[in-house]
Amino acid sequence: MKQNQNSLSKVLLNILTERLLIPVILLSILLTLLSSIIASIYIRQDQLQATHSISLRLDDFLKNAQEVILSSGKAAELHQQNELPAYLAILQEANPYFDTIYAINEEANIYAISPDDPLSIGLDMSNQDYYRNRNGDNTIRISSPFISTKTGSLTVYISQKLPSNQMVVGELSLSKLQQVIRTESYAQNGRVIFITDGHGTVLGHPDFSLVAQQVNFSYLNQEQFELVPDSSRLIFTRNRSYIQTISPLNQIDWLVIAQIPFFSAFAPFLFFALVSVVLIIGLWLLVLYSIRQEAHKKVIAPLGQLGEAANSLAVGDGSRINQIATATAGFDEIQDLAKNFIHMVEAVEQRQIALEERTRSEHELRLLAESLRDTAAALNSTLDYEIVLERILTNIGLVIPHDFANIMLIDPEQNVVRVVAENGYAEHGLQQWIERTTFTMDDLKTLARMYYTSTPILITNTTNHPMWVVYQESNMVRSYMGAPIRIRGQVIGFINLDSLTPGFYTPDMMDKLQSFADQAGIAIHNAELIRDLQDSHQELIIAYDTTIQGWAKALELRDMEIQGHSIRVAEMTVRLSTYLGITEPDLTHIRYGAFLHDIGKIAIPDSILYKKAALTDEEWEIMRMHPIYAQQILAPIPYLSRSVDIPYYHHEHWDGSGYPHKLHGEQIPLAARIFSIVDVWDSLRRDRPYHSAWQEDEVYTYLRSQSGKLFDPRLVNEFLQMLKDHPDLEYPS
């Protein structure tokens, strides 16, 4: 390659630097600096002119007011006391911006005032700041501004101490300041001119409400402007930026402030900048046209030839590969690009193949994970392993395509294999055949192989495989895959997949099928455990129930109770509890408690329990201990601890007259309140050693009469209503 030929990067760098970048940067910087300098100088001078004009007028205004006070002081020294009011009236009339002018004697009392106000004569002014802060010299002092109670306008005191220790005071209205602000011609383009004292309190403002409220701009302080008078600065307030110029007054520490929005101030500059941008864009277009012409000749045309050759490669046409290297020999970079392009195409093709393979593998793994997770969820949501097996077949279909699928379980007693779940056979009219047919492992070598090796099996082509057994109904199957279902190392069944396509299944699919087979084993094992646990639980419940009924019969025999009383009251108590909306397991605890309601009598001596004569008070005390004995007997027994309410509390009465704790109302557990009604109802309806059986009407009348005394009134009504609603209800005899 010729040495005088430049590389592509150098050519582009020279074009951008020499013809575009440097001129544009220099021109933009120059225009920006020039416009900024001119605009800032103009704005500052305009602001200063406005503040100077107002400050001069205010200085003259205050100077004139001070001269009026000086004249008033001289008059107070020279005139008689009775002549002074007339002189003050002349001064006040000539200077109407004074609301009041008055003289104070040595005792701090007003002795002359204009305009004439007899009520003010003799007022003690010793509590006023201007009087307390007076000193030995005769200088004129101006107070802080305040809102006058007489006029409602902003006012200041101008005072002078006289050699005779008297004082002359004038209330100077600052409404003149407001007039100056409102009529000032400099307030334009959004500019605001206002006046504050040295502490930032507004004295004059176009918005008089700020003056009336005595708004304070705390960022304004006389002290910070004493060293730099007539200063300007950029401030930010209320989310806006302003250019602010401040001029202090000569007569007093007041400030005249001119404030203009930054955008309004620099609007001319922005306009100039916009024009400059337009000019720069025009220059840009001219330069861009030059770049386009140069780039087309040296860059675009060669790259176009390279692109055409690359497109040919993209469609598989390699005949123009040599043109990539020889089309433009002017740049080293293009030649390198042509060489590297071929390597890039090869790398991209290899990467695309790898990416597609990875995507396919990830998709299959995701499907497998989701299917296994769904199967696990089915294991947790149902104890019916048949439903779980159906779900397993459905999920297998999402991961491993197939035409037929079934799950077989081994019947060890008959030495046969039965299909317990299937999929796909109905579409070919084979559902009844697969569900009704039983197989033996001697008939199907594939099952025998999985049973004895406990490993899956794969047959890619069934037409020539020695282990494949052909059935007329399934002779269309061309490839097969099976996996054993194992529990603790023992094979109990199989999952079988059939396809009509030869060579359809792969070893990877076989591994996935084994994962589903292992989950099927878990489902079956869990179902067997649950079934065994349920059988054991039911047997235990029957044993409990039989034992408790035996205890109840033994208690009846010992207490000489009417036979069947415990069973009857237990059953009727459960019926009333059910009628009231009580459900299991509470019903079981109520039933056990009713059976054992008098178990505490085991601890009562026979001499008391069988005594035919009336019991003495001491014997009754012992008899009334049997509920406590019942609690002590039953509470330590875990499965009877929740049944203790009836044996412990069934002798408590609604009105608190019962025993052993004299509970009343709803302090008595609900189960005991229910049972006490049923117990009395059953006892009255049967012949007892101490009374004959009552008629039904007599029993109902007695229950109503004891409602609110012995029994819960609501439960009595519910019990009688239940008997009325179910007149044909059969009670245990």
90-97: average pLDDT = 83
CA–CA dist 446, 417 (Å, integer): 13
- pLDDT at residue 673 greater than cutoff 50: yes
Q: What is the largest CA-CA distance in the chain?
A: 150
More confident residue, 494 or 276: 494
Find the helix or strand (DSSP H, E) in which 486 lies.
strand 479-487
Domains of the chain: 45-265 (3.30.450.20), 393-532 (3.30.450.40), 559-725 (1.10.3210.10)
- Characterize 76-115 residue by residue with b for buried, 16 or more Cβ atoms within 10 angstroms of its Cβ, and e for exposed: beebeeeebbebbbebbeebebbbbbbbbbeebebbbbbe
Q: What six digits make up the tokens of 10?
A: 């150098």
**Parallel, antiparallel or unpaired: strands 254-261 and 192-197:** antiparallel
For residue 78, what pLDDT is reported? 79
Q: How would you label 63-72 residue by residue, b for 16+ Cβ within 10 Å and e otherwise? A: eebbebbebb
Average pLDDT over residues 516-530: 77
DSSP 119: G
Please report which confidence band the pLDDT of residue 66 belongs to, taking 50, 70 and 90 as the band edges: confident
Q: How many CB atoms lie within 10 A of CB 418?
A: 16
Cβ contact 609:600 at 8 Å: no
pLDDT of residue 587: 93
**What's the count of helices (H) and strands (E) in the chain, helices before strands?**
25, 16
Structure tokens at 51: 């503040």
364 class by beta-carbon count within 10 Å (0-12 exposed, 13-18 middle, 19+ buried): middle
Report the pLDDT value the prediction gives residue 665, as an integer from 0 to 100: 95
Nearest residue to 254 via CA among 197, 297, 208 = 197
Cβ within 8 Å of residue 110, ≥6 positions away:
102, 103, 104, 120, 121, 122, 123, 125
Q: How far apart are the C-alpha atoms of 360 and 730, rounded to whole Å? A: 71
pLDDT of 213 higher than 80: no
Q: What are phi and psi of 614, to 5 degrees?
A: -65, 145
The pLDDT of residue 650: 93
Reply yes or no on whether the pLDDT at 24 is more than 90.
no
More confident residue, 691 or 52: 52
Q: What is the pLDDT of residues 396-443, one digit of tens each?
A: 888 889 999 999 888 887 788 988 888 888 888 888 888 888 888 778
Question: What pLDDT, on a 0 to 100 scale, did the predictor assign at position 5?
Answer: 42
pLDDT of residue 578: 94
The pLDDT of residue 99 is above 70:
yes
Please give the residue that has the higher pLDDT: either 303 or 557.
Answer: 303
Q: Is the pLDDT of residue 644 over 70?
A: yes
What are the DSSP E strand ranges found in 65-166? 98-104, 110-114, 140-142, 146-147, 154-161
User: What is the Cα–Cα distance from 726 to 108, expressed in whole angstroms?
Assistant: 108
d(CA 66, CA 101) in angstroms, rounded, equals: 12
Confidence grade of residue 233 (pLDDT, cut at 50, 70, 90)? confident
Given this model, what pLDDT does residue 654 score?
A: 96
The pLDDT score that the predictor gives to residue 187 is 58
**Does position 371 have pLDDT exceeding 50, yes or no?**
yes
Reply yes or no on whether the pLDDT at 188 is more than 80.
no
CA 313 to chain centre: 55
In 262-376, beta strands by DSSP E: none
Would you say how long the chain is, in residues?
Answer: 733
455-510 per-position pLDDT tens digit: 999 999 998 888 898 888 888 899 999 999 998 888 989 999 999 999 999 998 89
| Residue 68 pLDDT | 86
Report residue 225 CA to chain centroid gap.
Answer: 53
pLDDT of residue 1: 43
Q: What is the pLDDT of residue 658?
A: 94
In SS3 terms, 401-458 reads as CCCEEEEEEEECCCCEEEEEEEECCHHHCCHHHHHHCCECCCCCHHHHHHHHHCCCEE
Comparing CA positions, the residue from 351, 312, 490, 493 lying closest to residue 409 is 493
pTM: 0.38
- Above 60 in pLDDT, residue 607? yes
Which residues are within 8 A (CB) of 305 and not within 5 positions of it... i.e. 6 or more apart? 323, 327, 328
Amino acid letter, 647: P
What's residue 716's pLDDT? 96
Please give the C-alpha separations between residue 91 and each of 57, 67, 98, 177, 190, in angstroms, as whole numbers.
21, 11, 9, 21, 40
With a cut of 70, say whether residue 96 has pLDDT above it.
yes
Q: Look over the chain and give the mean of its residue pLDDT values, rounded to a whole number.
A: 78
Instruction: Assess whether pLDDT exceeds 60 at residue 42.
Output: yes
Q: Is the pLDDT of residue 3 over 50?
A: no
CA distance 659 to 636: 22
**pLDDT tens digits for range 352-366:** 555 556 555 555 556
Q: What is the mean pLDDT of residues 122-148?
A: 80
Is 48 within 8 Å of 240 (Cβ atoms)? Answer: no
Q: Among 203, 192, 325, which Cα is nearest to 260's?
A: 192
User: Coil, strand or helix: which one is 91?
Assistant: helix
Contact 256, 193 (CB under 8 A): yes
Q: What is the pLDDT of residues 525-538, one digit of tens each?
A: 777 776 666 665 56
Cα–Cα distance measured from residue 329 to residue 335, given in angstroms and rounded to the nearest whole number:
7
Phi-psi region of 483 (alpha: psi -120 to 50; beta: other; left: phi over 0): beta
Q: Supply 194's token pair.
A: 């206002």
**Sorting pLDDT into bands at 50, 70 and 90, what band is 90?**
confident
